Amino acid sequence: MSEIADLFDLTGKWALVTGARGGLGQAMARALAMAGADIVGLGSTPMPETGQLIEASGRRFLGVQADLSQPNDFRALVAQMEELAGPIDILVNNAGIIRRADVLDYTEADWDVVTNVNEKNLFFLSQAVARGMVSRRFGRIINIASLLSFQGGIRVPAYTASKHAVAGLTKLMANELAASGVTVNAIAPGYMETDNTAALRADPDRQRQILERIPMGRWGVPDDLATAVLFLATPRASYVTGAIIPVDGGWLAR
């Protein structure tokens, strides 16, 4: 293995990726597997395509079903995963949902389901995984934040609140876990071609407005996150914690 490849070598590591059925989660799971990690995919539905892609790269894949919009016994769930796979070295909190409505019309039901997935259960899954990481004195937690961790947006109050929370929790967990060899960082994707942005891309006016604001002039694609997740996951990134890395085509610089 070349010296450069060795910097990103994850051989022998298990990575847990939530929301890995498609889109950003699937792309990050593939990138981690190509660097040598075995993958646990956690989601509310089976993800056979992701499993096939991971196994085609020569790595092991374990699919686990859990509804992250509902309460879960995460300590028991993590214990089950680690019994079937191995110790979780890398956690990528990618699962997230969005519900759109004007401020005056937004419902409590939509608020609860969005914040449960994007904020509450992100924290409690991280807590459960971090217990083992702390005992082994190694771990990488990578949260998926958003441009709306920095901005307000429109018609997405719960999403904006939850992604601001992800930014704050990233910093808080980084502070508390650093002494135990566990880093906690976040990636803030820009406007990406995923299911969450399908409504925006289908609206000609919003599509035009967004592309005019992005210096690179295009929507991001899931593979654009590969180098960021590998950088934050590598054992060599031991002095990087509490960071939020935008991958946004220059949106925030505009």
Active site residues: 159
What span, in angstroms and rounded, lies between the C-alpha atoms of 89 and 206?
40
Residue 60 dihedral angles phi and psi, to the nearest 5°: -85, 150
Q: Which residues pair with 63 in a beta bridge?
A: 41
CA–CA distance from 126 to each of 44, 62, 215, 222, 233 (Å)?
17, 18, 34, 23, 15
Residue 144's nearest CA partner among 246, 1, 57, 34 is 246
The structure tokens 């992005």 sit at 214
